[in-house]
Amino acid sequence: MSVFLQQLINGFFIGSVYGLFAIGYTLVFGVLDILNLAHAAIFTLGGLSALWLTTTAGLPGWIAFPLATLFSGVLGLLLYRVAFAPLRRRADSNLSGLISSIAMAIVFESCALGIFGARTVRFPEGMFQNRVYHFQSITITSLQLEIVAVALGLMIVLSALLKYSRTGKAIRAVAESENTARLLGINVEWIVSQTFFVSSALGGAAGILYGLYFDALAPDMGRSIELKGLAVIILGGMGSIPGAILGGIAFGLSEVLTVELTGMSNLRDAVAFTVLLLILILKPSGLLGRGRARQA
């Protein structure tokens, strides 16, 4: 029983990082109806730039991590300017945007490879005091708790922003109808840029947390989470923010439980994606349906 409980906890922690990553995906999708496939590359660069700030620049974590998160947001603006904005007027902009975001993902990943090298690296040891708590045979570390707290905190802040702030309302208006929003005097271009900024900042934050959790940062770390992020937003319902969180945790749990029951990690993607397929057949709109981002 305690093994099972520990597994549930393991799944919950990794699932909350998946959720945070997927929110960025789903936010852009909810507003623009396009998939930003460079999101995983921003996730990688977020983690690696935080590493650079803490090691090479020697900044303490509480300055370096927010800075790296902001930097990821700025990368998101760059991504939007280069890969999406020039194509926005075109009729097939959804598909061409998808392709150009793949191109940007390759550019970002190559930059990471060139700047940071191919080796797997980690945040310096002892940067945080990582206390280990034992409850009978359950083990939880303070780092895990901090990661969940940060992930959930960012999710709550984002939901509140979308619901109550002026920019958040404008984002929802653009998601509803670009033309109507424009008629109401909303600067659509500015709002879309903002959306990319927020989405990428969250992706970068997820990259930092992922790197902290697994002690492993590498230029190809985005690849392991890219498809999972897509699956999570489909599972939760495209464009739905609570759905992305729920989907992330469900995905994390299905992964560890598969390993627990079969002892093979190769099967975990197979099981997770089979569950995804079943949900799509039974409830095509995903767990929480579509369009919730607009209502937040």
Catalog residues that contact another protein under the rule CB under 8 A: 2-3, 6-7, 10-11, 14, 113, 117-122, 125, 130, 132, 134, 137, 139, 141, 210, 214-216, 218-221, 223-224, 255-257, 259-260, 263-266, 269
The distance of closest approach from Cβ of residue 78 to another protein in the complex, given in angstroms and rounded to an integer, is 23
Of 222 and 237, CB closest to another protein: 222
The distance of closest approach from Cβ of residue 120 to another protein in the complex, given in angstroms and rounded to an integer, is 5
The distance in angstroms from the start CA to the end CA of the chain is 38
Helices within the chain (DSSP H only): 2-32, 39-55, 61-79, 93-116, 142-164, 166-176, 178-183, 188-214, 223-236, 241-262, 266-282, 292-295
Structure tokens at 126: 């002892």
How buried is residue 13: exposed, middle or buried, by Cβ count under 10 Å (0-12/13-18/19+)? buried
Cα dihedral 194, 197, 199, 205 sign:
negative
Tokens 């507003």, located at residue: 31
The distance of closest approach from Cβ of residue 23 to another protein in the complex, given in angstroms and rounded to an integer, is 20
The distance of closest approach from Cβ of residue 261 to another protein in the complex, given in angstroms and rounded to an integer, is 10
Of 70 and 214, CB closest to another protein: 214
The distance of closest approach from Cβ of residue 238 to another protein in the complex, given in angstroms and rounded to an integer, is 26
d(CA 144, CA 14): 9
Of 141 and 193, CB closest to another protein: 141
Of 120 and 187, CB closest to another protein: 120
Of 174 and 257, CB closest to another protein: 257
**Which residues have C-beta within 8 Å of that of residue 161, sequence separation ≥ 6?**
167, 168, 198
Of 187 and 265, CB closest to another protein: 265
The residue among 185, 282, 286, 192 whose CA lies nearest residue 243 is: 286
d(CA 277, CA 21): 21
The distance of closest approach from Cβ of residue 5 to another protein in the complex, given in angstroms and rounded to an integer, is 10
